[in-house]
Amino acid sequence: MTGTPFIGLYPFQWIALVAAGLTLLFLADAFAGHYRSGFVFRSQYAPFIGGGLLIVTAISAVLKPEAEWANLALRLAGLLAIVFGLVGFGFHHYYGIVKKPGGYKWLLHYLMYGAPQLAPLALTITGMLALVAAHGLANEVSIAGVSVRTALLTLVAVALAGAILQSGILHYRGAFNNPLMYAPLTVPVLAVVMDIWMIIGPNDMVLLVFTTLLWLTFLIGFVGLGMHLRGFGRQMGGLYVTIFNWLEGPPAFAPALFTGFAGVGLIAAYFL
Amino acid sequence: MNRPTEKGGTVKSLKEALKLFKLGAPMHPIFVHFTIALTSASLIFDALGFFLDKASLTAAGGWTLFGSAVTTLMTISTGLTSSTRAPIEEGEARSFLRAHMALGLIFFGLLVAVTFWRVSLWQNAQGVSWLYLISLAVVSLVMTVQGYLGGELVYRYGVEVEQAHRELPEREAKSAPPRLVSTQNQESVVSTKG
């Protein structure tokens, strides 16, 4: 199998594992959001089907990395997740902005208070991660002419940029009421820049700076998880009324996306 | 709840002792000790192994850190359960709780990062370095602050402490105990008599 193993798992097994973990976490946030809106459309159940399949197949691929059926299932689940994510993005855009009173004239308002525009694309990204993992587990060195490592670094850059934009708009809605709310707009932005640099002109110094920034982004995810938990505590009743404040407070697991995407970048940088 | 022995009576038999046993005991204080002890032990073992050049000590440092990362998952999950039992009203206690919750996950992130670092050192057959020891010391420092906040929550604000103190046996007595007279009053009585 390609790459150097780490704690008993090869890099693409790790990527499949991270994809499964990230999917589980953002599905929890998606459930909160869709439950809050009352599951008014049946399509709101779609991410749980696509994401659920992705989790099961990704874990199967981790456990049986050389099984052809597991690889095929992971590819299919990955493709399904990509499609569901894109359709979700369309739905969030149409029902979250276009169809709302005022539409694009109230764009900033709906970006802040409507359905989170970029959130469904997280499913697309994890679907892509699953596809890359499936290619890697099958010992394929490139995808559509692009090396697997470059594909992963590109995915990480795009994913981090999306997470930065989404957190930026939501933290703006929260009026940056705590200085740590600026954190996603600092180091992760530099990590994206260095990621692109790594793709274009890699060398030892760029690698060192890039991995350092990725480690910091990895930690920022945990800072975010802690601060979002604190955010629940600041709501009336705190965790004493957990379900209510989980629905109304900051998205509980969203900061973990930074940790997960940084983790994928680190796997690509160190072990591929 | 009909458990008189908990109100100050003496436990006289095994049966009475068993009646005091509750499955709903808070688990967070139990797991917290594993996190604190294992992380601190890891730092001490690694530092001793580094300075005394003993591979067995650094190996112990690695395993204790790994143990800490695993048990801290339980510490966090039980802590979340415990936080739901904190006083609901806004005030100092909740401020401490919020800081404790936020710092807890930050500490866990640092612990995970340093554990991955430790594993990669082990896989590459490398020993610990000054930089690693300093980083682990910083993680331990964050843990100390976190532990202090947790201690304040329990010992200052009594979070998850069912009774602040055991009541005196007189509470159960049929006749009221003699009233307490403050030292100041006694002195004034003496001076009036004099």
Cβ-based contacts of A219 with chain B (< 8 Å): 106, 109-110, 113
**Nearest Cβ partner for A239 among B84, B102, B106:** B84
Indicate yes or no: CB of A215 within 8 angstroms of CB of B113. yes
pTM, rounded to two decimals: 0.85
Residue whose structure tokens are 């749980």: A48
Residue whose structure tokens are 């060195």: A141
Q: Are A234 and A178 in contact (CB under 8 A)?
A: no
For range B28-49, the mean pLDDT? 96
Cβ-based contacts of B103 with chain A (< 8 Å): 226
Domain boundaries, chain A: 8-140, 156-272
Contact map slice: A 6-35 vs B, CB within 8 A? 6-7
pLDDT of residue B1: 45
- The CA distance from A75 to A81, in Å, is 10
Indicate yes or no: CB of A222 within 8 angstroms of CB of B88. no
- The CA distance from A8 to A14, in Å, is 10
Nearest-CA distance from B110 to chain A in Å? 7
Per the model's pLDDT, the better-predicted residue between A3 and B2 turns out to be A3
Task: Kindly give the residue spans of alpha helices, DSSP state H, lying in A10-147.
Answer: 11-36, 46-63, 68-93, 107-113, 121-137
**Amino acid at position A192, single letter:** V
Whether the CB of A215 is below 8 Å from some CB of chain B: the reply is yes
Indicate yes or no: CB of B102 within 8 angstroms of CB of A230. yes
A48-78 pLDDT tens trace: 999 999 999 999 999 999 899 999 999 999 9
Closest residue in chain B to residue A270, using alpha carbons only: B120
Residue whose structure tokens are 């005991």: B25
B67-122 pLDDT tens trace: 999 999 999 999 988 888 777 678 888 889 999 999 999 999 999 999 999 999 99
B23-36 pLDDT tens trace: 667 889 999 999 99
Q: Where does residue B125 fall: left (phi above 0), alpha (psi -120 to 50 degrees), or beta otherwise?
A: left
